[in-house]
C-alpha cells in the first residue's frame, strides 16, 4: 500500500487509539494512547508470553504487547467492533494490515470469556472496560478464569472519600455523557473484587490523583461544561496489577 492510499484509508476511519503506522502517519485517535502506556506498567519484555487484550478496540495495546516480544497476542472485543457504539473494527483491521502484525482477533463478549472459549494467557489486559460492564464482579470472574499469571486492570473509580468497598451506579449518561458507562467502583471495591475472584497478590501501580490535584482538574472541566464539581472531585482512575 502506498503512502497516499494509506493516508486516505486512515482519514476515512474513525479512530479511538492513536497508533503509529510508520511513514510519519499516526492515527488521529480520540485517545492519546502512547501517553497512557506508562500508566499501565506493562512489562517491557514479554518474550515468550501469551497476552489477551480484552476490549482491544483499535488494538494499540495488542500491537504494543506484540512489539514487546509476546509469542501470541489475542485481541478480543464485541461492543466496539460490532458498531453498536462509537466505532467499529475497521481501525483494528487496517492497523494490523499496515503493521504486518500477527495479532489474532476474536469477537466475543466479556461474560463469554472462559478457558474453553479463548484459552488461558500469561498476561491479560483489561483496560478501560470494567466500568462499562453491567455486571462488573461477574466480568472480573470471567477475566480471572483466563488469567494464568498476571492481570493489568485499568479503570475509572468513584466515591473516593468512601473507605469501605462501594460503587456508584450510573443508570443514564451521568458519567461523561456516555450511557455505556454503568458503574464507578471505589478503590476499596476494586481491590476487594480482585481478591474475591482469586487473585492472591495485588499491587496498585497508579492510584487516583490527590484531592488538591482533582480539584484543579475538575475546575478545568467545569469551565468546559463537563461534570459537576462534587462528582469530579470524587472520581479518578487507577491501575492495578493482580497476580495468581
pLDDT tens digits, 27-53:
999 999 999 999 999 999 999 999 999
Residue 230: per-residue pLDDT: 62
Q: Is 44 left (phi over 0), alpha (psi -120 to 50) or beta?
A: alpha
Residue 28: per-residue pLDDT: 96
Q: What are the backbone dihedrals phi and psi of residue 192, each rounded to the nearest 5 degrees, phi first?
A: -65, -40
What range defines the domain where residue 228 resides?
Answer: 43-243
Do you know the residue count of the chain? 244
Q: How many independent structural domains does the chain possess?
A: 1
Residue 122 lies in a domain: yes
- Here the CATH number for the domain that contains residue 68 is 3.40.50.150
Residue 31 lies in a domain: no
Query: Which whole number is the average pLDDT over 152-161?
Result: 95
- Residues 130, 137: Cα–Cα separation, whole Å: 9
3-state secondary structure of 126: strand
Residue 7 lies in a domain: no
pLDDT tens for each residue of 80-137: 998 766 779 999 999 999 999 999 999 999 999 999 999 999 999 999 999 999 999 9
Residue 18 lies in a domain: no
Q: What is the 3-state secondary structure (H, E, C) of 188-224?
A: HHHHHHHHHCCCCEEEEEECCCCHHHHHHHHHHHHHC
Residue 197 lies in a domain: yes
Residue 33 lies in a domain: no
Residue 144 lies in a domain: yes
Residue 90 lies in a domain: yes
Q: Give Cβ neighbours of residue 6 (< 8 Å, ≥ 6 apart).
A: 21, 23, 25, 98
- Residues 154, 26: Cα–Cα separation, whole Å: 24
Amino acid at each position: 500500500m502506498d503512502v497516499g492510499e494509506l493516508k486516505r484509508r486512515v482519514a476515512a476511519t474513525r479512530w479511538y487509539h492513536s497508533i503509529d503506522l510508520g511513514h510519519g502517519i499516526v492515527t488521529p485517535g480520540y485517545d492519546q494512547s502512547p501517553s497512557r502506556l506508562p500508566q499501565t506498567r506493562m512489562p517491557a519484555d514479554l518474550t515468550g508470553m501469551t497476552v489477551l487484550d480484552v476490549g482491544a478496540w483499535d488494538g494499540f495495546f495488542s500491537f504494543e504487547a506484540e512489539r514487546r516480544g509476546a509469542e501470541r497476542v489475542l485481541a478480543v472485543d464485541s461492543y466496539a467492533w460490532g458498531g453498536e457504539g462509537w466505532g467499529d473494527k475497521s481501525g483494528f483491521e487496517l492497523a494490523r494490515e499496515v503493521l504486518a502484525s500477527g495479532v489474532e482477533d476474536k469477537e466475543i463478549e466479556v461474560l463469554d470469556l472462559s478457558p474453553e472459549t479463548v484459552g488461558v494467557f500469561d498476561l491479560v489486559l483489561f483496560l478501560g472496560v470494567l466500568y462499562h460492564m453491567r455486571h462488573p464482579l461477574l466480568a472480573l470472574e470471567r477475566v480471572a478464569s483466563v488469567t494464568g499469571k498476571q492481570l493489568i486492570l485499568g479503570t475509572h473509580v468513584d466515591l473516593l472519600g468512601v473507605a469501605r468497598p462501594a460503587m456508584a451506579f450510573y443508570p443514564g449518561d451521568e458519567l461523561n455523557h456516555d450511557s455505556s458507562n454503568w458503574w464507578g467502583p471505589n478503590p476499596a471495591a476494586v481491590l476487594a473484587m480482585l481478591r474475591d475472584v482469586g487473585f492472591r497478590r495485588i499491587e496498585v501501580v497508579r492510584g487516583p490523583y490527590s484531592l488538591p490535584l482533582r480539584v484543579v482538574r475538575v475546575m478545568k472541566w467545569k469551565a468546559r461544561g463537563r461534570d459537576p464539581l462534587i462528582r469530579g472531585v470524587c472520581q479518578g482512575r487507577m491501575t492495578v496489577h493482580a497476580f495468581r
